[in-house]
Amino acid sequence: MYADIIKEILREQNRIYEKTNSGDFSDVCFLEGRDAVFGTFDKNYKNRLRLAYYILFMKKGGEALVKKLFEEELKDRETNSFQGIGACLEILTFLLMKYNGAHQYDALFERAKNANFDCACGYDRNVEQETQLERCDIYDCIQIAIETGYPESAARLVEEWKKEIKEWDVQNYRQLILFNKNTCREAENEEPLKALLALERKNGKNRKNRDIIAAWNNLIHFYIGFGERKKAYEAFYEMLEHTDLSEVAGIRLFSGILEDAAQLIAMGGEEAQPLWEWAGPFIAKLAGTGSMYGNLYKKSIRAAQCMKDPIEEELTAAYEAWKRKTGAR
């Protein structure tokens, strides 16, 4: 069942395989793109990954094709702003190693090792890959569908995975939340997030308080992201009432809570004033120590504007100083 869904995806790659194998690499060659937020990326990465999976599982393609795809993938690894190793490089490494009996591709593998920081730390030319699709479990299949950009196929697999769950524990809820996020179904995460929070609170005596806080914050973040202002305020005030945030005051989680508070305050509502009275002093303290980051600055400034708090000027000055120091825009 799982393999059949992936086979549907693979069959769709036959056209691009035939085109590329005939010598036309226009759909899979490195094609640089630039994004104001994410930096440099490869517009053809997904096509190349799909073709790599096709070659791996369908046992097609020869040495020249694999070598060319490997070289194009190297261009991405060497220039991509996110760096990374990625499934495509690992698959193509596994395939190209089959032809390296005379060590003629050692230089390419060494180039891959030095492509970026992540590759330097974790790339291994001796990586193993499963070549029999039938041996892949449901997690493998879901990951393949997600990586290759087939969210509907991945969602079908997630539905099959859900049928196999015998007990919905913390780990399974976390997995479902992640699956939904990666299959364009994040809007369905309200109930899993609420269930996860309930479990964390139930297990609270035997678990760290920060797990409960993190679960609550994730629910709040969800409500904010989907414009559920009233629910977000309710969840935020419940978190303040039932948890001790001093436990996380010195870690990034607390900064994230302040960021969500500032964003929620900027959404308005009569509940904004008491939340600003709670969050404002923490934000002012962090700004005074230079411990904030870009989004927290921007959202805090916006919240201060909405609340007509004169601290806006102090926050703006601190933000400008932070940008000069870090080179951020």
Judge contact between 55 and 77, C-beta under 8 A.
Answer: no
Judge contact between 117 and 76, C-beta under 8 A.
Answer: no
Type of residue at 246: S
pLDDT in tens, 191-221: 999 999 999 999 876 556 889 999 999 999 9
In percent, the amount of the chain with pLDDT more than 90 equals 89
HEC sequence for 76-110: HHHHCCCCCCHHHHHHHHHHHHCCCCCCCCHHHHH
Distance CA 185, CA 179 (A): 8
pTM over 0.85: yes
- pLDDT at res. 40: 94
pLDDT in tens, 126-179: 999 999 999 999 999 999 999 999 999 999 999 999 999 999 999 999 999 999
pLDDT in tens, 257-286: 999 999 999 999 999 999 999 999 999 999
- pLDDT at res. 205: 61
Type of residue at 217: N
Residue 66's pLDDT band, with cuts at 50, 70 and 90, is very high
Mean pLDDT across the chain: 95
- pLDDT at res. 207: 55
